[in-house]
Structure 1
């Protein structure tokens, strides 16, 4: 995991897991993959191992545990036994130990575990810490779509994640951005160990991207598209060292890699965050 330099992580959420995408990523210098046990109908790890097993040693691989196939469909669980077994299974299906295993959206079950949510989260963290100590993965982290419910619990856990993944970008609200900053500080993480995800809020073709011009957040954006500019700005909303982005097209990935050399105007970013906070509090912007 690199430090200050921005890094692109190829996310496989909703991906077809085609081999040409992985070879295209390597050609662009993108050498990090992010997946999850529940991607591709719980077949992501097996598919990667089967169709691109020879390529996987060239990537750092992160995956996630927390969602399981149940009799009524997909279910979420922080049960430490299930989590530990899922990490073991991930290593077996991939044919190698993952570099990072994220606890996937722990807030989903934390809300339902009250008044025992502190104990439940601590046990889940301990399970991943134990899996790391046993060599089933190189490190573990937390991937949270909505980190706010975790804020009151973070000082009750002994084990601490090595990596945090949160939503990033211009469509993320002030509460999520501030919660990400709080978790980053509480867990003593530097920028290289904080990752962003969903930088476009789901799609680059959403109407919002035709209404705003993200190039105002960059110092020299004359050669960049709006999509490229939004992607580059996402590394500062909140401050992250890596951004996970999903695509099935190497050309799209190439466009995003081309945005990394651009410099972000920090004062504009800070002013934007101030406006977001004021709006969330009902204050004049």
Structure 2
């Protein structure tokens, strides 16, 4: 078993939640596990406890609250009472208090909050902060797929999250990258407090990965695959110290952990973002 590597989190979105995946992750030194109340048809926590309850104490476990069973499959809510109840339920279903609970895609409900957005977001953050103070979780954070609306809603009384998780990687548009940076600045977060997610834009099998060669970002001559370099690029777009990545194959996870030896050219990412920004200005409105 390798030593623990805090730079990689095993994400369970779309995962089958098989025990061999968790044991394989531990063998690779991946000791952080990320799930959500709504994963696996709102059964993720129960399935984890049933199939790998003895393994969970070996992981730092993060989960997310914000989506609830509803008409058509799910509904989103930032109601503080529902969020607090969801954290309590997560602890019961997992058989242990989560190490980290994310407020899941708050922008989903904030679209409808209108001028009350700041108050709604502050109330939701306060609910998770209170859950932490009551011992229902060790820390809380925010996971946002589209953070563009959030930075302007952070009021002076909003509690500060311990962790922010945002999309990262070569397939993230400049608007989202800039919005993530704005949110990081607004909360004065260090890179060690920021996670990236979805480094392959949802799938490493997308056709785009056969059409580009991200190895132009490498600063050394290590023989890494295009997907390995795309993975380490996610640590720089935006700047994060940890990336959550989903897979059901321990071998694939091992390839990604092995990519972390690669060194990249920081200036290349600065130029890349500049090119993205220039391209976005040229697009018709």
Q: TM-score range by the shorter chain?
A: over 0.9
Q: Which runs of 5+ in 2 are unaligned?
A: none
Give the secondary structure class of the aligned counterpart of 1:258.
helix
Q: How does 1:191-210 map to 2 (within 5 A)?
A: 191-210=191-210
Name the structure 1 match of 2:99. Answer: 99
Displacement of 1:52: 0.5
For normalisation by structure 1, the TM-score amounts to 0.95
Normalized against structure 2, the TM-score is what?
Answer: 0.95
- Which residue number corresponds to residue 245 of structure 2? 245
Q: Which residue is 2:75 aligned to? A: 75
Secondary structure of 1:244's partner?
strand
Kept in 1: contact 2:118–2:155 (CA 8 A)? no
Other-structure match for 1:172:
172
Q: Is the 8 A contact 1:218 1:263 kept in 2?
A: yes
Is 1:65 the counterpart of 2:85? The answer is no
Partner of 2:211: 211
Aligned equivalents of 2:145, 2:113: Cα separation in 1: 18
For 2:6 and 2:178, the matched residues in 1 are separated by 21
1:115-194 equivalences in 2 (<5 Å): 115-194=115-194
Moved over 2 A (4+): 155-158
Aligned residue number for residue 56 of structure 2: 56
Q: How far did residue 168 of structure 1 move? A: 0.2
- Tell me the equivalent position of 2:85: 85
> 1:158: Cα distance to partner?
2.3
Higher relative contact order (CA 8 A, sep 6+): 1
Contact 2:61–2:98 (8 Å) recurs in 1: yes
- Report the CA distance between 1:132 and its aligned residue: 0.5
**Residue 114 of structure 1 pairs with residue 114 of structure 2:** yes
Cα distance in 2 for partners of 1:125, 1:94 equals: 22
1:182 deviation in Å?
A: 1.3
For the Cα contact (< 8 Å) 2:219–2:263, is it kept in 1?
Answer: yes
Gaps of 5+ in 1: none
Q: Are the aligned partners of 2:63 and 2:101 in contact in 1 as well (CA < 8 Å)?
A: yes
1:226-271 CA distance string (max 9 Å, x none): 0000001110000011111000000000000000011111000100
Determine the C-alpha separation between the residues in 2 that align with 1:142 and 1:263: 29
Deviation at 1:221, TM superposition (A): 4.7
1:37–1:43 Cα contact (<8 Å) kept: yes
With over 3 angstroms needed to count, the CA separation of the structure-2 counterparts of 1:255 and 1:221, relative to structure 1, is farther
**Residue of structure 1 equivalent to 2:26:** 26
1:156, distance to aligned residue in structure 2 (A)? 4.6
Paired residues of 2:66 and 2:76 also in contact (CA < 8 A): yes
Q: How many angstroms apart in 2 are the aligned matches of 1:186 and 1:117?
A: 16
Q: Indicate if the aligned counterparts of 1:148 and 1:175 stay in contact, CA closer than 8 A.
A: yes
Check if 1:38 corresponds to 2:29: no
For the pair 1:224 / 2:224, whether they are aligned, the reply is yes
* CA RMSD after TM alignment: 1.2
CA distance in 1, matches of 2:79, 2:178: 28
Report how many aligned residue pairs link the two structures.
279
